[in-house]
Amino acid sequence: MVSIIVDPDLCTRCGICSKICPAMVIGLADENTLPAVWEDRAGMCITCGHCEAACPSGALRLNLHGGEREIRSPGTGVIPPGELGIYMKKRRSVRHYKKKPVSRDLVERVLDIARYAPSGGNAQPVQWLVVQDPEEVRKLAALTADWMKSLMGTGHPMEGYVSPFIAAWEKGSDQICRGAPHLVITHVPADNPGAMTDAIIALTYFDLAAPSFGIGTCWAGFLSIAASSYEPLVQALALPPGRKCAYGLMFGYPQYQFHNIPERNPVQVTWR
């Protein structure tokens, strides 16, 4: 049963927790009553933490795991729009990597950020597979190359597109995973089509957080497409039963640094 813990000495009975709750499960406090989850609505709580995050006095917390909680002083974590804009605009797809491995500790720090990505109903259906061994990455790239070869002569829409990648692979050039030392792959319940979007959002969090740790990323499109249907690759990923690959990123330390921000097409928007 979901409940909230309220410190009566800190609670000001402002009512924000009740008003901000997206599931409308918290009763309003008054001078004699602290805010609480209505028993008949407790099953509707999505444990999003809005109530805890919005409490201005820090009096309230969700009664979930009993441990994790981060309290920050006002203004902490606020990035000026200009700085954030430059950081995001400087993000580049990295296709040349150093052989130096990224430590497990550093990957876990990026994943710790990515787990806060939003998901439908706060279901948090996304799980992660991190392929740390460069040889394993190479094997998965080889299986993706095999999938590409299987498309030849079938009339598949991608048949003409993959030919240069097959040729490069056969000449010893990995244009599939770009020689990246590592891969991170999201997987979701196979019976939850909405979770695929949640996975892309979570990977985007990883993608945006990684450069702040000196890590470069690139979306592994060919491998991700192949992993949706090519059985040898599906078997090689060995995901838990009932789960399917959503999408993946290759990552590692960039061989080259990016210093400038190139132009993009002007934004096209319809206002109503």
DSSP designation for 240: P
pLDDT over 70 percentage in the chain: 96
pLDDT tens for 160-212 read 899 999 999 999 999 999 999 999 999 999 999 999 999 999 999 999 999 99
Q: Tell me the pTM.
A: 0.87
Helix, strand, coil percent values for the chain (each to nearest 5) = 35, 15, 45
pLDDT tens for 127-147 read 999 999 999 999 999 999 999
Q: CATH 3.40.109.10: which residues of the chain? A: 87-252
The pLDDT value recorded for residue 29 is 86
Q: CATH 3.30.70.20: which residues of the chain? A: 4-62
CB-neighbour burial class of residue 137 (10 A; exposed 0-12, middle 13-18, buried 19+): buried
pLDDT tens for 223-266 read 999 999 999 999 999 999 999 999 999 999 999 999 999 999 99
CATH of 4-62, one of 3.40.50.2300, 3.40.50.12780, 3.40.50.720, 3.30.70.20: 3.30.70.20
Residue 154 CA from chain centroid, whole number: 34
Distance CA 74, CA 47 (A): 23
Fold classified for 87-252: NADH Oxidase (3.40.109)
